[in-house]
Chains A and B, each alone.
Chain A
Amino acid sequence: RRLDMRPLKEAIAEAVVQLCQENLASIKEAAVLDIVYNHTFQNKRVWTVYQMTKATGGETDIFDFTAFKRKFKRRIQSSLINVTINFKEFEDNAIWIRIAWGTSYTKPNQYKATYVVYHSQTPYAFISKSINRSNLPLLCQALIVASNYGDIREMELRSHCLDSLKDIVFKRYSQTFQTHHPKPLQERNVAPENVDPRLIQEDKSEKERIQRVNREVFGDGPQPKLEFAQYKLETMFKSNPKMVNVSERESFRCLVKFSSPHLLEALKSLAPAGMADAPLSPLLTCIPHKARNYFKIKERKGVLAASLVSP
């Protein structure tokens, strides 16, 4: 027998509406509730990281939240009246901003709001991927005006997991340090799993090498959680010269995308699982250090070899 939840849901919805009416709730309360919801379920959205830079000679001012809110609202509303802007500060110094956009003729669309997460002690802002990119320049301007920065740029770093993005740009994950004196291999405290003397592992030293290389590259701690790495190739097609028409010297366009529920942990486990050589390609392992998971690979001038291009 199926339980019909609909009357129950309707009853709850009606009770909530009544409660709101009695307490003269307004859009403001609804917006703040929306922020709380999205903060709790923040990993439902895809977040892009933006980095702000100080204007030359700018000083680090003490952060004034009230002034920030005022300047932000003023900058946006000077261009667009029909907006709903709300703020909420959370425990880890994260300021959440919710913006519902309208146009000159229409009221703000409360169902397609943009969310911005800003940590005042850092030059980083995280913006939820919004469908309406035409409002993005205005949003960016308001951010730098309100936070006293000079410029803002979009980083090539995107993920569902907001905390992991913070871990990467705030450098909160366990980093590896290139040592010139490699530590002697420490015997891990693992109980001997197979005491059967009839089973002999021939390439123990190779396995230990793989573990050591992995530790050097990835560190010991948990990896930040990313779902994608994307490589856009703009390189020449290399093949038997007879096959390709020499006059067709166009770049061969190709997109390689790696996806996984937890990409970096998956990459870390490839060599130990016997699925790849160790060490992995630096194109993959540089992701947290370079704080990017979207790459463009171009031809290296002079030598026909692919090289990594960073802006």
Chain B
Amino acid sequence: MALAFDEYGRPFIILKEQEQKTRLRGLEAQKANISAGKAVARILRTSLGPKGMDKMLQSPDGDVTITNDGATILEQMDVDNQIAKLMVELSRSQDYEIGDGTTGVVVLAGALLEQAERLLERGIHPIRIAEGYEMASRIAVEHLEHIAQKFDFGPTNLEPLVQTCMTTLSSKIVNRCKRAMAEICVKAVLSVADLERKDVNLDLIKVEGKVGGKLEDTELIYGITVDKDMSHPQMPKQIEDAKIAILTCPFEPPKPKTKHKVDIDTVEKFQTLRQQEQKYFDDMVQKCKDVGATLVICQWGFDDEANHLLMHRNLPAVRWVGGVELELIAIATGGRIVPRFQELTPEKLGRAGLVREKSFGTTKDKMLYIEHCLNSRAVTIFIRGGNKMIIEETKRSIHDALCVARNLIRNNSIVYGGGSAETACSIAVETASDKYPGVEQYAIRAFADALDAVPMALAENSGLQPIETLSAVKSQQIKENNPHFGIDCNDVGTNDMREQNVFETLIGKQQQILLATQVVKMILKIDDVISPSDY
């Protein structure tokens, strides 16, 4: 694998330990990269759409995950190939940015790579292809904006939002009760949404799951659930109009951070120390009581004595509550997190209408519900399901649906789903391509073909004839000049996605096209892969 030779034919050593590295160059490198990217896309292709299949993934520790969420599949797959990792990143960034369409973006990128491979074979320079793709993506994004529709919803008219969430959920395992789930998601998002600023802080929505029951039992709680119970088994299980002290200091003797020693050398000292200790516990509880708290939620543990004092003074308490939950409780109840007993004041207490403990099933699982909070902006979606995997998958699906609802609140433009947007873009790009002089024209045309891959995969997964169906939809779109025709995955009988109520968000679709194009450009630009050899 020599790179250069001197006049005696000896190779110059350029790379460190050159012999142990494998190197791919030029067209070969590009082809290898493309085939890796395509392999990843191929795995996800069958998961696309409402009739897409799931993947079963076994983690290195033997845990089983069953999902059809693109981002999750790729993340758990533990890929080794560098290019495949790029695709994983691609799906992840779509997940972070939009939350939905993680499968679609990878399928699109795979299709773009496939088209690029053909162009490379015809001798078109990769940079020219990349540029052509760039132009085409711009056309597609503009066209999307052109066909996008604003749609109105308000606190009274939730139907459109619910419909969109249902589109997202229909491809998941929860589609049996998608209506109920979609309603829960929309209500959850609206209750935390800031409609003025058009923003939603998804951190305020907590998604909790507990095995058992059935999916239909999933509920939206206007408040917080904490997977803890009262610190003392005999404390009251239900508190009305609770005033909550939220503490981050333990009910334990103080532990100064500086290193110190208390020496006991006389009996008097021993006794004073003892009394101080007792007083200390007493003071702590008394301070909570004095400010009028009726419930103490603490991040740390309690000493047995303190625990009993709390019980004795009729002050229910919860211990070992996690930091994140503590913050949520503080937000929901309008309280302040207090780091020291001295700083407790009545204003810093949170308020909740009802705090109750609820137990599940035959095992002693207990959870604490904090409801009717002063500031009901924090909500919890509580999922029940037959087994752990269903719960995990439902959590992921709910996350997707929440993201979609949020995106709609941010920007209420929608495009129609079922592959109709891709088909419309494909037509637009195809027509526009002829206007470009130069080699890019081919790349743009290839881009249009790649866009067809998404509806095609949809049709294939739904058990339809992909080519026939797509060409029918395409001709219908052109003939009637109506971009709402897509693939009829559920066999409803109409191709008009507007009638089927299948929407997707505009930003989600735009982001998909932009991200996929970017990654493909990056992959195309690589012409040299140097990697440590396995042997």
- Asked if A pairs with B, the answer is no
**B-binding residues in A (CB < 8 A):** none
